[in-house]
Amino acid sequence: MSGQRRNRVRAVLAGVSLVAVVAAQGCTRDVEASGSSRKDAYRGVTEALDHLVRAGFPGAQVTIDGPGGHHAFTAGAGDLATGAPIADDARVRIGSNTKPFVATVIMQLVAEGKVELEAPIERYLPGVVTGNGNDGNRISVHQLLQHTSGLPDYVASGNPALRPDPNSPQLHPDSEQARWRVYQPEELVRIAMSLPPQFEPGAKAVYTNTNYILLGMLIQHVTGHSPADEINSRILQPLGLRDTYYPATDETAIRGSHPRGYQEIDGSRVDFTDLNPSWGGAAGAMVATPADLNRFFTALLAGKLLPAAQLDAMKQTVPFDRMPGAGYGLALINLAVSCGKQVWGHGGSIPGFETRNGVTADGTAVVVTVNQLPGSEAAADAVSKAFDAAICA
């Protein structure tokens, strides 16, 4: 569920034989007919996608929208049982790409005078952030948005080598318990509050999902409506994002057309498409198509969802732990790319899927989708290189 995650790698990917079969089935294709000039322009994209399949991902897709129109390229399999590729209009779980939707609602509430950015979270959620050294009086809404709160994460690291003691209360996203159980936000916060802070509030930025669970609770408190309802009425409906939604509490299947999502568990590849994302909540539960993600981020960065002051505040960045060279704003990441373009985006991962995305200054938006989380640093680097190839094409 991390936002451009690089340090939550899992065990080695599935066997070479399966990778070879998928690679043979999944040579890259552009879902739209194209001339030779465009094929040449996007050669780096198609090569990067083929590399992703060879690196062990079942399937991969690049979706590009902007002044040059809509293009979708795919390689490998969206469904290993049938060999079908990831469809252009397929919905996927977007993990931490949920966070920019939540942050946008918060900043709209700031613009409306209903939330004060520098106010302590204790003002809105009294008695919630407390225990084991955690103190909501010392943590601002701003610090939650920017991951500078110092709060502990209720989610355990995805890297087995970094996992805490088995008796730790942290939630493991790929466990059977987390996969099917319904979690309430208050329960997730209580898990976090059973642990000490990671650092003093404001000392640095460490990506922490607890922050956005609390922001979802803040939306509920201030508006009287769930984060899902507010995101729908304030963002999805105005932008016509009909293929994007926040799942109901007990919803385990992805609606409509979608690829299968896979997860490496104890050295075996498991179909992890269906799960209850309530453990992700306002930090990572949402579902969207890549085209809808592009439309959302393009509209946000074009000033269609926020006044200039609030959008500018979202772009004030600090260094953070997940991406050396990048800066984290308020759920907007200033991404470093090889061609030097100014790129703003986020990204998301959740068992079964990862999305990397960004928008350039000219309004070109890119989403890279894979239907399995990276299982090694090399695989994570391959996703980064595919995004770089697409954004610089």
CA atoms within 13 A on the CB side of 7: 11
**End-to-end C-alpha distance for the chain, whole angstroms:** 27
Other CB atoms within 10 Å distance of the CB of residue 286: 28
The arrangement of secondary structure in 98-231, i.e. its CATH architecture, is 3-Layer(aba) Sandwich (3.40)
Output DSSP code: residue 114. S
Domain boundaries, the chain: 16-92+244-265+286-391, 98-231
Fold match flag (16-92+244-265+286-391 vs 98-231): yes
The arrangement of secondary structure in 16-92+244-265+286-391, i.e. its CATH architecture, is 3-Layer(aba) Sandwich (3.40)
CB 205 within 8 A of CB 320: yes
Angle at 276 between CA 162 and CA 328, to 5 degrees: 50
Angle at 326 between CA 322 and CA 327, to 5 degrees: 95
Say what the pLDDT of residue 206 is.
96
Say what the pLDDT of residue 29 is.
55
Distance CA 32, CA 47 (A): 17
Look up residue 355 and give its two tokens: 């999305």
DSSP string, 119-185: SBHHHHSTTTSEETTEEGGG-BHHHHHTT-S-PPPSBPPSSGGG---TT---B-TTSHHHHH----H
Q: What single letter denotes the amino acid at residue 240? A: G
pLDDT-flagged residues of the chain (< 70):
1-39, 158-166
Say what the pLDDT of residue 363 is.
97
Look up residue 131 and give its two tokens: 């225990």
DSSP string, 47-58: HHHHHHHHTT-S
Distance CA 15, CA 23 (A): 13
Say what the pLDDT of residue 15 is.
30
